[in-house]
Structure 1
Amino acid sequence: MRRLPALVTTAITAVLCGQLVAPAASAEEGFTVREAKIAGSGGVSLAAKVVEPEGAARGSRPLLVMPASWAVPNIEYVGAAARLAHESGYVVVSYTARGFYGSGGEVEVAGPEDVADARRVIDWAVEHTSAGDEHVGMAGISYGAGISALTAAEDSRVDAVAAMSGWADLVASLYPNETVSSAAAELLLGSGKVTGRLGTDLRELERAYREHRVEDELHMARERSPKNRIDQLNANGTAVLLANAWQDSLFPPGQITDMFGRLNGPKRLMLSPGDHATPELFGAAGLPNRVWERAADWFDQHLRGIDRGVPDSGVELQPLNSSEWHSYSSWDAASRRTATHYLAEPRKRHPLAPETGGLPTGKQPAWQHRIEAGDPTLANSGVVLVSGALQGFTRMPVGVATPLVDREDAAVWATRPYSEEVVVSGTPRLSVTATPSAESVSLFAHLYDVGPAGRGSLISRKPVTLRNGQPGVQRLVEVSLRPTAWEVPAGHRLALVIDTVDTRYRDESSTGTVTFGSPEGSPASLRVPFG
């Protein structure tokens, strides 16, 4: 039985290397794939696969190090590594992170030991392969992306990074606006236990999560967030490519766009439809893929000195409901204008119509509107990983019949139908006052594209939890929704729905009411960016 994983690995490698790698005019004669055991930090053994071009090299070859994703072994990147070795002459070392599968140690959640491991892998490759340390890159998906970015900040030998479906801020990812992302936590903890051995920090984090005291362990997340290493990345001059999915269930794109804006070296941002890791999944296996092809160009330019025509700074966006990619000089350039829509008091337009507020561009009289807290509505964010993947592969959005959203448990506002197509492009921002009747309450904002029949397609969302407040005291809620790009057809309208329950998140809205308001001095508004 112990031979079965090796046989499977050999078979998959043979398929990927023999069939998915097409000859190129400047390709190497061939390449080899071998397994290795690399001594990581503290002597922990790391299971690795080494893909190396055959034949004598004129000089030291460029090196790419690829840490595997969370709960995934090192075979993850063999297809992509084979193409990079065969077509461009890279030595690629893909390794399983400590604590998972055949690697020793315990899972450290991208802690200092994981960074030290990556640096040891670079040392080993320079000593045991034809690669040198003059031109070093790192790439990875998810866990591998985070480790790559953190390592590049610590090790100036890393000249370029391609971080795909990774995180910039673990706090913003798993605890957005003080809302516990329970579905993401359960997914990470469950898969980690099945495939690995949880370390001390992760076990303590799980205890804090189970005991509803996540705040006690947030320091661990901050220490492992690349956004807190940006000064080092800038000082090193690291060329950073960031790629994520609009509907990523684990690491939402807002924290990635924020990090991108703070980088001042060569940088590129790519956002496309899909969920966690799905936009890059097939590219890792060596199949044609826009993100991996751009990553190869990125490395060629910054490691091999070959001009692939990719500007040192730029943004590429694929709208949620489109197959076309659009290029911009910066993230800000993706939003050409911003319209401020003021939230009008929800009311019935006729006896059979549900209560709905307008979203006009002119200021409105002061108002208040109350809903019940603690009951779910038809408005929701979909199923973790599944809904986003369907959007990415089939363009099937998370939908809702907006007339059927229960107005007892949700507040709804809508614009007038647009006379021509518009493109929402950027980060929508909501401002509204809320007065909970309890100490704590969770609010979930959903932005929909709604057709003439009332069918809504989810284009952005965001949770926020108001904690430890005084019941009956008004609070100003200002929320940046998820960045998005969505083509709204003529005749459609935008609709905003706010309710108090979403199954992805831990519920803080057990009882009571929430009263939304738009006072004279602080009118409720929704700022919508358009491309």
Structure 2
Amino acid sequence: MGHARITLRTAAVGVVSAALIAGVAGLAPAAQAAPSVRFVDIPGDGGTVLKANVVTPAGDDGSRSYPLVVLPTSWGLPQVEYLAQAQKLADSGYVVLTYNVRGFWQSGGQIEVAGPPDVADASRVIDWALAHTPADPARIGMAGVSYGAGISLLAAAHDKRVRAVAALSGWADLIGSIYSGRTQHVQAGALLDGVGTVTGRESPEVRRIFDRFYASDLAAEQEMTDWGRERSAATYVDRLNRNGAAVMLAGAWGDSIFPVNQDADFYGRLTVPKRLELRPGDHATPEITGLFGLPNDVWTDTGRWFDHYLRGVDNGIDREQPVQLKPRTGGGYETYPDWKSLASDDRKFALAGSTTIHANVDSGADGGTVFLSSILDQVAQLPPMALIPLLPRRWAAVWQSERYTTPQRVRGTVTLHTTLTPTAESGTFIAYVYDVGPLGVGKLVTHAPYAWHGRAPGEPFGVDLDLFSTAYDVPAGHRLAVVADTVDPLYTEHNPSGAQLTFSSPQDDPSYVSVPVREQ
């Protein structure tokens, strides 16, 4: 575990450093060319100094007010992150204020992971903008990528002045993101921890949570869950609905930090004007080109969202189908009236028989590597792969469907139901679904981990598992394979040495996988 943390922290430093160098090189000239940019210090909650910049429309003479957009920075990035987009928004008639969240770079305070001080900071930033810029108090929006997205949603739930939000590659449910299936997403956690350690100052509470996360401290599980819920917009969805801010959510199918399931669940609970956009890629990769001022669909729609809900522009975004997605396997945008309309049929195939596997050995079926795997899927349609016929059956349970005579357009959330009998009270398994071609090469369609604790050894129990939502087209002539094993570098393993797992399909409760499919 220690070596993995060091390796991921080193990689995180490299990723952040490259992003910052590119950001400074790509954004600084635009900032210098725009006299409307000024760098300021803003007193946040408790007087903590937040480093920020303000971009106002060119030629502003103080005679009118403008809608305000506030952009909190992403995890580990400085306040210049959004300058290219801030300039574009200012050119369209907005006052834009971007600020470095507390605990990172030159801002004061400690990292609170979107805790109450961060939410209060957002309100203090709005206060400052209303007092020191020509911002209109009736037209305030917030947006951000990743960490900035999470803070923006939380701020809208706690501050009624926020009238529109664009949350890009963010989270709605923090525990449902990095602790789904009651399993620590250890690579994602280590990456966040590494970036935070290098670019900021973690609070003692955050350091304790990370340490208990790595240690799989069951005694602290409730504390971690409560800590995460306080930092999740899903906890305050009723407040968001009462406050009425229009909410746009955008994410990536392969987001290895904030899987899109939690966005889809949250979206379904919103009753305000809303929009959900999903594209191929990993965490924040669909938005990244826009940060350098390049054409980018996510940022274009963010501007349209604010134009309509803050400036009153009749651009039609409110009349479009609100769920917009691009499949991972290519093609243009598909549009739907709601999440449940993605699939028109749920096709089940049986996980028949009884299969016993041994724990503690990686079978070769894996979810990939944080960032790298989903980026390869995004740019080259090369997801993690496995040679299904050669997977060792001692360590992997394998079931396969019949070959499909027509393409299968998988849309939404694959679910698995099975009966599991472990030899130990705690354990982990990971379920994978592969698209298997004629030569037996499987391309990963989706997966998810599942862990349990406190079970009686030798006693069977039912498992219902939602795999990570996706949009993937299985070609005609291919089949689907379901694989279960016990080790994946993305996740913490809870199986003691020598443990065995038996998957069975009782006659009165048969095991199956249900695949949501869109008809042609």
Deviation at 1:472, TM superposition (A): 0.4
- Asked whether 1:326 is paired with 2:312, we answer no
Which residue of structure 2 lines up, in the alignment, with residue 139 of structure 1? 143
Q: Which residue is equivalent to 1:22? A: none
With over 3 angstroms needed to count, the CA separation of the structure-2 counterparts of 1:241 and 1:9, relative to structure 1, is closer
Compute the displacement of 1:323 (Å). Answer: 4.1
The corresponding residue for 1:127 is 131
What letter matches 2:79 in structure 1? Answer: N
Are residue 82 (structure 1) and residue 96 (structure 2) matched? no
**Could you tell me whether the CA contact under 8 Å between 2:352 and 2:510 is conserved in 1?**
no
Is residue 278 of structure 1 aligned with residue 264 of structure 2?
no
Report the secondary structure of 1:258's partner residue. Answer: helix
Partner SS, residue 53 of structure 1: coil
- Amino acid paired to 2:165: V
Contact 1:444 1:464 survives alignment (8 Å): yes
Whole-angstrom CA distance in 1 between matches of 2:242 and 2:416: 35
| 8 Å contact kept, 1:31–1:85 | no
Contact preservation (8 Å) 2:24, 2:80: no
Alpha-carbon RMSD: 1.8
Please say if 1:407 is aligned against 2:393.
Answer: yes
TM-score between the two structures when normalised by the length of structure 2: 0.92
Structure 2 counterpart of 1:440, from 423, 426, 440: 426
Aligned pair partner of 2:168 in 164, 167, 172: 164
Q: Which residue of 2 aligns with 1:15?
A: 29
Residue by residue over 1:38-82, the C-alpha shift from the partner in whole angstroms, topping out at 9 and shown as x without a partner, is 110110000011111122366310100000011111111111111
Q: How does 1:36-47 map to 2 (within 5 A)?
A: 36-47=40-51
Deviations 1:386-432 (A, max 9, x none): 11112122222111111111111111111111112120001111000
Aligned to 2:247: 240
**1:307 corresponds to 2:310:** no
How far apart, CA to CA, are the structure 1 residues paired with 2:500 and 2:25?
Answer: 59
- Separation in 1, partners of 2:405, 2:24: 58
Whole-Å separation in 1 of the counterparts to 2:197 and 2:78: 14
Rg larger in structure: 1
**Which moved further from structure 2: 173-182 or 101-110?**
173-182
Q: Structure 1 CA distance, aligned partners of 2:494 and 2:371? A: 23
Preserved CA contact (<8 Å) 2:186 2:214: no
User: What is the alpha-carbon distance in structure 2 between the residues aligned to residue 246 and residue 406 of structure 1?
Assistant: 29
Is the deviation greater in 276-285 or in 48-57?
48-57
**1:325/1:58 Cα in 2 relative to 1: closer, same or farther (>3 Å)?**
farther
The question of 1:256 aligning with 2:263 is answered yes
1:188 is matched with 192
What amino acid is aligned across from residue 400 of structure 2 in structure 1?
A: A
Stretches of structure 2 lacking an aligned partner (at least 5 in a row): 1-19
Identity of aligned residues (%): 45
For 1:10 and 1:203, locate their aligned partners in 2 and report how far apart those are by CA, in whole Å. 30
Distance in 1, matches of 2:21 and 2:289, equals 22
Residue 383 (structure 1) shift = 0.8
- Indicate which of 242, 247, 268 corresponds to 2:275: 268
Which deviates the most, 306-315 or 166-175? Answer: 306-315
**Quick one: which amino acid aligns to residue 461 of structure 2?**
R
Instruction: Mark the CA change 1:18 to 1:401 in structure 2 (over 3 Å): closer, same or farther.
Output: farther
C-alpha distance in structure 1 between counterparts of 2:32 and 2:469, whole Å: 40
The separation in 1 between residues aligned to 2:63 and 2:431, in whole angstroms, is 58
2:480 corresponds to 1:459: no
The equivalent residue for 2:156 is 152
- One-letter amino acid matched to 1:205: I
In structure 1, the residue matched to 2:474 is 488
1:120-160 per-residue CA deviation (whole Å, 9 max, x = no partner) reads 11111111112121100000011100000000001111000
Q: 1:102 to 1:508 in 2, by over 3 A?
A: same
CA contact (8 A) 1:31 1:82 kept: no
What are the Cα deviations for residues 324-380 of structure 1, in whole angstroms up to 9, with x where unaligned? 2111111111111111222223xxxxxxxxxxxxxxxxxxxxxx2211111111110
Offset of 1:491 from its aligned partner?
0.8
Please state how far the C-alpha of 1:467 moved relative to its aligned partner: 1.1
> CA deviation digits over 1:493-517, x for unaligned, max 9?
1111111111111111232211111
Whole-angstrom CA distance in 1 between matches of 2:400 and 2:21? 58
Q: Which whole-Å CA distance do the structure 2 matches of 1:105 and 1:471 have between them?
A: 48
In the alignment, structure 1 residue 48 sits paired with structure 2 residue 55: no
Equivalent residue, structure 1, for 2:10: none
2:232 aligned to which of 225, 249, 267? 225
